[in-house]
């Protein structure tokens, strides 16, 4: 397993770069071959990414989430996986170019600055705490993708309202589909983050950690409630259009804020070292 890690560390950014190029071509020209081999390159990249993180886990003896660079790599995988899920569900390939450059960037930073062959270390936390972290990271990725589709929705909404029927208008899927992609990704994020919150609360009780004073916990729960409301409003209240998207974007902003506050302004067990 160990010799695989340096190889995959360099291969992954290259494969994501290839995917970005292919999806870029598919966006620029619907008839180009990019639309065919882009998804193939991306699926291979995601598969190798899973192998990479698994190899890291086996080598290090715990889930590879020990640093901010690891966090970036796991978020990149989450973004790519959620994107593939949405692409398969909606059959839309022209929006990949708005998600995959972020995946590429995150993986490049992680590959460039992360420790490529870490030594085996004792587990940092109990396994299911690590699972809490992993599900949370996957949830962040899903919300990130949801936010991207939210922004795309708003841009297309404005274009159509203003009768500016530009290239962007022609290349985007229907407005209704973008709204559905925004909510689908948010729903996936809601489930994953919900599980993460439950596991976190359980762990805190067992480890006697005081959550009441942890701003990250409160902000995350607040964001989850906001996002939950946005998803519920879409499904139950029939909210469509910018109002539903603004609600989900507010939830994502709160989630982002919780991360920034934790990393920059307070010290807690949630702070990445």
CB of 148 to other proteins, least distance (A): 19
61 binding other proteins? (CB under 8 A):
no
Helix extents (H) in the chain: 4-28, 34-60, 68-90, 100-113, 127-161, 167-171, 175-207, 215-235, 242-260
If phi over 0 gives left and psi between -120 and 50 gives alpha, with beta otherwise, what is residue 74?
alpha
Q: Give the residue with the Cβ less far from other proteins, 24 or 222.
A: 24
Near other proteins in 161-180, by CB under 8 A:
161, 163, 165, 169-170, 172-177, 180
Nearest-angstrom CA–CA distance, 84 and 221: 27
CB of 137 to other proteins, least distance (A): 32
89 binding other proteins? (CB under 8 A):
no
| Residue from 2, 10, 28, 30 in contact with other proteins (CB under 8 A) | 30
C-alpha dihedral sign at 165, 168, 169, 171: positive
| Residue from 120, 205, 213, 243 in contact with other proteins (CB under 8 A) | 243
Contact call for residues 82 and 142 (beta carbons, < 8 A):
yes
CB of 76 to other proteins, least distance (A): 30
Q: Residues 123-162: x/- map of binding to other proteins (CB under 8 A)?
A: -------------------------------------xx-
* Residue whose C-alpha is closest to residue 216's, from 162, 259, 253, 171: 259
Task: State the residues that interact with other proteins by CB under 8 A.
Answer: 30-31, 160-161, 163, 165, 169-170, 172-177, 180, 237-243
């Amino acid at each position: 397993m160990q010799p695989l890690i340096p190889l995959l560390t360099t291969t992954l950014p290259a494969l994501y770069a290839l995917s970005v190029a292919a999806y870029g071509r598919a966006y620029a020209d619907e008839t180009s071959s990019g639309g065919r081999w882009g998804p193939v390159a991306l699926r291979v990249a995601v598969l190798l990414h899973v192998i990479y993180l698994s190899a890291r886990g086996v080598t290090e003896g715990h889930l590879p989430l020990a640093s901010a660079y690891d966090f970036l790599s796991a978020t990149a995988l989450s973004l790519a996986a959620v994107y593939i899920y949405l692409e398969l569900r909606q059959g839309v390939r022209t929006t990949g170019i708005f998600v995959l450059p972020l995946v590429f960037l995150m993986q490049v930073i992680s590959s460039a600055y992360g420790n490529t062959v870490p030594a085996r270390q004792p587990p940092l936390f109990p396994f299911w705490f690590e699972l809490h972290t992993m599900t949370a990271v996957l949830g962040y990725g899903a919300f990130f993708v949801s936010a991207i589709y939210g922004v795309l929705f708003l841009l297309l909404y404005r274009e159509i309202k203003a009768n500016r029927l530009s290239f962007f208008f022609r290349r985007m899927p229907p407005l209704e589909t973008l709204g559905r992609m925004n909510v689908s990704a948010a729903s996936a994020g809601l489930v994953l983050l919900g599980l993460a919150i439950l596991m976190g609360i359980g762990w805190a009780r067992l480890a006697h950690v005081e959550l009441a004073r942890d701003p990250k916990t409160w902000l995350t729960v607040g964001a989850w409630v906001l996002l939950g409301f946005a998803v519920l409003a879409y499904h139950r209240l029939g909210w469509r259009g910018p109002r539903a998207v603004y609600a989900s974007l507010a939830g994502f902003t709160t989630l982002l804020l919780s991360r920034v506050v934790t990393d920059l302004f307070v010290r807690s067990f949630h702070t990445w070292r």
